[in-house]
Structure 1
């Protein structure tokens, strides 16, 4: 379910990556080519980007389908940035959260997206609630599984973990608590990207001063490289590093110290 993309590169209109390519994220909202679960990504969308001199990203999110939002097309035409993260949300069960459930989620300099699902939500998360400070649970942006996954990742970042470490640790914890979860996570601070594959597709394109990490290629450039399942990807504008995530989830205690 869902499609997402993060870009680092030269300053360019948002639409250069989100609308202009033949199979861009907007088209993926109704005609994804490599989506393993779900069919139509019509239950919300969002984009976050960074402006020069400001470490905190701006966001534009809506609850409906991206193809019906004329303001988004204008935004993509005139707003320019060197870094962005955007996502379209798979059609899902009705809920009250509206655009609050649409990625990217944000905290400090970070933008985050979750492509996947936690089976048995919300009951599967009950053993993990104690991993978060009470105030983090109260501040959940929405009552969906992706907002909870972001809360776990953000807590690790605030404890000082590196981006890749925070994603890998969250994936291990969630996969143990909710077997069968799909946990493709995407994170950026505007200077680096970290991502995981765990149950769905992920690709990257690097070169010409840019790095793109996406659920699927937005064009037929032969340089697109598929990331194997259960892999941690870390990247910046100079290159991409891949590290396998263990197929056997580490048996670490579910209870972690809250600081």
Structure 2
């Protein structure tokens, strides 16, 4: 379910990455080429981006399909950024969360998206949720699996883990608690992109003019797009992409207490 994309590099209009390419995220909302689960990504969309001089990202999210939002077309044409994260959400069960359920999620300087599904949600993650402080659970943006996965990642980031470790440890922990889950995660702080492949497609492109795109699927037919193997951690900067294998979970872990945040 869902399609998402992150970019870091030279300044670009949002539309140059999300609308203009022939198979951009905009088109993937109704005609994805590599989506293995679901077919129409019309249950909300969002984009988060960074303005020069401001470390906190801005977001634009809506509950409906991206193609029906004429305001987004104007926004995408004129807003430029050096980093963004955007997603279109697969049609899913009815709920009251509306645009709050649409990625990207945000906190501090971070933007986050989850492409996939947690098997057996919500019961499968009950034990993991007990490891979070009550105020974190009460502050969830939405009542879905992605919002809880984000809370688990964010707790690790705030405790001092680097982005790669925060994503990798969360994926292994959730996969152990809910075997069969699909956990393609995407995270950026505006300077780099960190991602995981766990059950769905992911590609990256080192752009000839500079910058790196990490996406669920290619937005054009440039032969330089590279598919990321399953069970992989991706760390990307504007000039470099590194891949590392993710370990398989050995057993369903008991919930461990979270580290105290660094001060």
TM-score (structure 1 length as normaliser): 0.98
**Displacement of 1:231 after TM fit?**
0.3
Match for residue 229 of structure 2? 228
1:213 aligns with 2:249: no
- Distance, in Å, in 2 between the alignment partners of 1:10 and 1:172 is 33
5+ long unaligned stretches in structure 2: none
Is the 1:114–1:184 contact (alpha carbons within 8 Å) kept by the matching residues of 2? yes
**CA offset at residue 252 of structure 1?**
7.3
Which residue is 2:184 aligned to? 184
Q: Which aligned pairs between 1:1-259 and structure 2 lie closer than 5 A?
A: 1-207=1-207, 208-246=209-247, 248-251=248-251, 253-258=253-258, 259=260
Q: Which moved more, 1:118-127 or 1:181-190?
A: 118-127
- Shift in Å at residue 130 of structure 1? 1.6
8 Å contact from structure 1 (residues 43, 88) kept in 2: yes
Return the alpha-carbon distance in structure 2 between the equivalents of residues 118 and 254 of structure 1: 18
Unmatched tracts of structure 1, length 5 or more? none
Distance (Å, rounded) in 1 between the aligned partners of 2:253 and 2:92: 32
- Distance in 2 (CA, whole Å) between partners of 1:125 and 1:140 is 14
Equivalent position SS for 1:131: coil
Q: Structure 1 residue runs of 4+, over 6 Å off?
A: none
Question: What TM-score results when the alignment is normalised by the length of structure 2?
Answer: 0.96
Matches of 1:19 and 1:238, distance apart in 2: 24
Displacement after TM superposition at 1:251 (Å): 4.1
Cα distance between partner residues in 2 of 1:151 and 1:129: 9
CA distance in structure 2 between the aligned counterparts of 1:250 and 1:166, rounded to whole angstroms? 18
SS of corresponding position for 2:219 = coil
